Structure 1
């Protein structure tokens, strides 16, 4: 790790790689006059991540701010860099920048695999110094355990290899980090074996694991336990279905890496066993019935018969299952789930004059999320639906040419988080998708 003397500031506009500038011009040409506003917002968002969030370290690692919070989230940083993989295939400099992020992520995982966000230096800075948990250290900004926070770095490591062919990030820290992830996922198959607890002494139940940080009732299902959602809000029921879908997918990536590249059958075997356990748990415990009596995926379950019918905007969510690679977009169970989530049966689906989309308990009622809107487009086969969503997104940017965390579906000038890099890059990825430009899974 580096101290502040070994850290550069965020890149300036002139530091944008030539390949990225060329790609932005290509997107502008594709948009043409008909979709000129898409191009304006794409160029603003695609450049913004590189010019405002990147910290390059002298040892080749990369620290990535989430935006308006001075910390790096394992989840957000992966999503922020994913669209650049479509450009990195022809650019060693950009490949090195993404490789540096993967290395930083796995260094952090080796420090504490239960943490979700980290400091750039061991400064001791934290979201809330009153957090009560079983372990803490100066690198940790927050220690909310989220299954997806361990899935995203594996996904990025795989996609980096898949799209560029580079293997330099599969180093000793990566192998050690994978072992730590497997240890946690295996332990949390039965949370009663875990020492993890997290309690924040405030009046917001979204900030603490139930039962004073130890967790609520559950039965062993084969799925792996999560304390928190990708929103950093506490789970109501501890088996978060979309995060287990994601865990299943990345366990497949681990098998491919440790068979095809690193030749470690022991790690590959552990990943295969976890994937089988999680898939079995999803098959037997993760479905419920909607109002029409049709089977759909639940958002969360506890293995005791309790479940939530909802979806949240933060990814992984149920809407993102095909995007993650868990199922096809035309899978009947997924389609039934999707139709239910985009209806009033989902308590976080909101309709307004500017958008009909999914919001979140994390933000005010009636506020919808650009991330959720982009994901709806990315998982649709209907190009007209993608076009409609992109038009809505640029019309709701409140004149900033950037995406926000959420906005009032009846008044886009009322929004949360003016600087949110993840949302910017999800918009960019949907523009790319519209023109048939994809990151290889």
Structure 2
């Protein structure tokens, strides 16, 4: 029998320098293939909608959805070895197949460009979200998260993540208010239009920016990418002049977005960021001439014009985003201390602590049924929005973000609230599926992402097994969808959504460490 601890230790011992060097050579050869050979690879937007053999031997007979090796965009020996290990050990063969498809999906299909330069500062990685040919700061950070624990001993993954950090640095330096970006010019990939008519301030270059919705979780995700990488590798090679300048940009933006709508004397204060879109959808634009609803002063919270769903905020003190930002600022401060940037470290840490205090002071309200709970959005005047959205960061995910212990009573009250029809208008239930959705898709579709966060925030084996069963039932293509109709699971949005696939892989790896009995035969066998 192989114990769970041995399995997890093996994650970090699967590859050596020679294998990583061969991976780099393989990647270069793939990129240098003849145009004819590269064009022979199917468009994954179409490929993901079709069933491909061999099928799993479980109840759902899930297809094998990885591209053939010659069409995979990036590969890692450690990732391939871990897939073999998990395939052999996971009892449910449908679950094993879903992991096999999802774990490498970011590498297989979304690494549109990688430059493995000799100097760390020159490495670049452009990671698209899936079926949209643009890189979101939030999505790309989440898409790479499951590879972070392997990066210390896999040079290929280190190079990829370092490149992603550098590419995000460039984006934050160019347009810190924007959320999604075009391919870097050096990639040779053509920019694409989002097809929208936007009036945004600050003005951006649409050959660099795909969309410019200001969301504080985008900036928190930029910080998180470096924080995760350092936490797993101990490598600070990415901390250079440009990264420090990007952190400065983040801090300047935070202070700009802590400015309230009115001064202490009541005069209107100019807002640095405004956004208006010609649209018939209320969630796609900001009211009051593009500034959004007023926010109060003396809260220490940070305004967020949009949510991580890319929907407009109603009350712009978005509590999950502020919670995530507080955590990542404090983690970043520790990196800054390591590189002797003491003054900046102290400023970043203090700002994180101020925002954290603001969340507890203004973001906690008393619900008539559930008691003390976190609100989703507040305005600092006492008004609040009670709901949760499946997109991360969310209230359900506060322990996953590192903001609060899962056993905290306010969190537990909040968890009960957002997982109930009585407390959350976007907790959707039907005859075939249930979970948290959001206004982005509508009130008929729940998001599998929310079920995965449920799993990550419970210790109840029966609850975990029931949630895994629902995710499997809602994944007939062998991939995790963006959203699923709660009455008909075959009615879904996005067959190819790399973020959801990555979160599924992260959830399985968490269970392998935390709840091995749910996945493996821990009492005997191999």
Q: Confirm or deny a common fold (TM above 0.5).
A: yes
Following the alignment from structure 2 to structure 1, what is the Cα–Cα distance between the partners of residues 309 and 73? 33
What displacement does 1:129 show?
4.6
Alignment match, 2:200: 133
Alignment match, 1:434: 511
Give the 5 Å matches for 1:243-282. 243-260=321-338, 262-282=339-359
Secondary structure in 1 matching 2:287: coil
Residues 226 and 110 of structure 1: CA distance in aligned 2, closer, same or farther (over 3 Å): same
CA contact (8 A) 2:181 2:210 kept: yes
Following the alignment from structure 2 to structure 1, what is the Cα–Cα distance between the partners of residues 152 and 484? 35
CA contact (8 A) 1:226 1:240 kept: yes
Consecutive unaligned residues in structure 1, runs of 5 or more:
1-6
* 2:295 is aligned with 1:218: yes
What displacement does 1:15 show?
4.6
Alignment match, 2:458: 380
Choose the corresponding residue for 1:23, options 82, 85, 94: 82
* 2:252 is aligned with 1:183: yes
* 2:151 is aligned with 1:88: yes
What displacement does 1:186 show?
1.3
Choose the corresponding residue for 1:371, options 443, 446, 449: 449
Following the alignment from structure 1 to structure 2, what is the Cα–Cα distance between the partners of residues 143 and 197? 10
* 2:214 is aligned with 1:145: yes
Alignment match, 1:4: none
Alignment match, 2:52: none
Following the alignment from structure 2 to structure 1, what is the Cα–Cα distance between the partners of residues 197 and 446? 31
What displacement does 1:357 show?
1.1
Choose the corresponding residue for 2:435, options 352, 357, 367: 357
CA contact (8 A) 2:214 2:305 kept: yes
Alignment match, 2:311: 233
Choose the corresponding residue for 2:241, options 169, 172, 175: 172
What displacement does 1:367 show?
0.9
Following the alignment from structure 1 to structure 2, what is the Cα–Cα distance between the partners of residues 342 and 15? 38
Choose the corresponding residue for 1:391, options 447, 450, 469: 469
Alignment match, 1:163: 232
Alignment match, 1:75: 138
Following the alignment from structure 1 to structure 2, what is the Cα–Cα distance between the partners of residues 267 and 372? 36
What displacement does 1:275 show?
1.4
What displacement does 1:437 show?
6.8
Alignment match, 1:3: none
Following the alignment from structure 2 to structure 1, what is the Cα–Cα distance between the partners of residues 408 and 455? 16
What displacement does 1:194 show?
3.4
CA contact (8 A) 1:103 1:169 kept: yes
Following the alignment from structure 1 to structure 2, what is the Cα–Cα distance between the partners of residues 240 and 194? 17
Following the alignment from structure 1 to structure 2, what is the Cα–Cα distance between the partners of residues 26 and 194? 53
Q: TM-score, normalised by structure 1?
A: 0.93
> Deviation digits for residues 10-43 of structure 1, max 9, x if unmatched?
98348521111101111112213xx111110111
Following the alignment from structure 2 to structure 1, what is the Cα–Cα distance between the partners of residues 124 and 342? 28
Give the 5 Å matches for 1:334-353. 334-344=411-421, 345-353=423-431
Following the alignment from structure 1 to structure 2, what is the Cα–Cα distance between the partners of residues 129 and 79? 26
Following the alignment from structure 1 to structure 2, what is the Cα–Cα distance between the partners of residues 193 and 109? 23
Secondary structure in 2 matching 1:277: helix
> Deviation digits for residues 235-273 of structure 1, max 9, x if unmatched?
00000000000011011112101112x111121122122
Secondary structure in 2 matching 1:412: coil
> Deviation digits for residues 203-234 of structure 1, max 9, x if unmatched?
11111122121121110211000000000000
User: Which deviates further from its counterpart, 297-306 or 15-24?
Assistant: 15-24
Following the alignment from structure 1 to structure 2, what is the Cα–Cα distance between the partners of residues 320 and 193? 33
Q: TM-score, normalised by structure 2?
A: 0.78
Following the alignment from structure 1 to structure 2, what is the Cα–Cα distance between the partners of residues 422 and 175? 27
> Deviation digits for residues 55-84 of structure 1, max 9, x if unmatched?
233342110010111100000000000011
> Deviation digits for residues 129-157 of structure 1, max 9, x if unmatched?
52001211020000000000000121110
Secondary structure in 1 matching 2:243: helix
Secondary structure in 1 matching 2:289: coil
Choose the corresponding residue for 1:295, options 341, 366, 372: 372
Alignment match, 1:49: 106
CA contact (8 A) 1:106 1:174 kept: yes
What displacement does 1:124 show?
5.7
What displacement does 1:293 show?
5.7
Following the alignment from structure 1 to structure 2, what is the Cα–Cα distance between the partners of residues 28 and 329? 30
Alignment match, 1:64: 127
